[in-house]
């Protein structure tokens, strides 16, 4: 589903699977894939701040500037159940925080102020109305 979208990440909750699992692939276009699987992820530490222009497959067409940690350490299990720790920065760090949020029921819009949240909500309602009309 992530590759079909295409997206750089996908959380299980986005496809109706109630597991603490997300995947991320931040490889640049034309580069070999860099699929990373995170099972039962925990954010160990966050350092610095960065603002990133984010999109989300659950909010088609929307782009918003969101403030995130610049560097994160994440602990998770891999597909074999083995625990690993990863320090990420750049797009990978942003994607890990975005996907981790999904598993906690937190969405991109929850990082926006009430006005922007409302505007985006209306935009999504309009989009839905025109799709079903």
Coil, helix or strand at residue 59 = coil
CB 103 within 8 A of CB 20: yes
Closest separation in Å from C-beta 122 to Ni ion: 19
No. of H helices and E strands in the chain? Answer: 2, 5
Site for Ni ion in 38-57 (CB under 5 A): 56
94 binds Ni ion (CB under 5 A): no
**Contacts to ligand GNR from residues 86-125, by CB under 6 A:** 94-95, 98-99, 102
Measured CA to CA, the distance from residue 73 to residue 43 in angstroms comes to: 6
User: Which residues sit at the interface with ligand GNR, rule CB under 6 A?
Assistant: 7-11, 14, 52, 54-58, 94-95, 98-99, 102
User: Which residues sit at the interface with Ni ion, rule CB under 5 A?
Assistant: 56
């Amino acid at each position: 589903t992530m590759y079909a979208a295409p997206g750089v990440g996908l959380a299980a909750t986005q496809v109706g699977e109630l597991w603490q699992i997300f995947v991320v692939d931040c490889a640049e276009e034309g580069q070999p894939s860099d699929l990373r699987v995170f099972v039962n992820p925990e954010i160990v530490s966050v350092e610095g701040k960065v603002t990133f222009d984010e999109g989300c497959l659950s909010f088609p067409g929307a782009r918003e500037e969101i403030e995130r940690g610049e560097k994160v350490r994440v602990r998770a299990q891999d597909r074999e159940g083995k625990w690993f720790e990863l320090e990420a920065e750049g797009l990978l760090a942003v994607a890990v925080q975005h996907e981790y949020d999904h598993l906690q029921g937190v969405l991109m819009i929850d990082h926006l102020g009430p006005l922007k949240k409302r505007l985006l909500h209306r935009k999504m309602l309009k989009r839905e109305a025109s799709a079903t009309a």
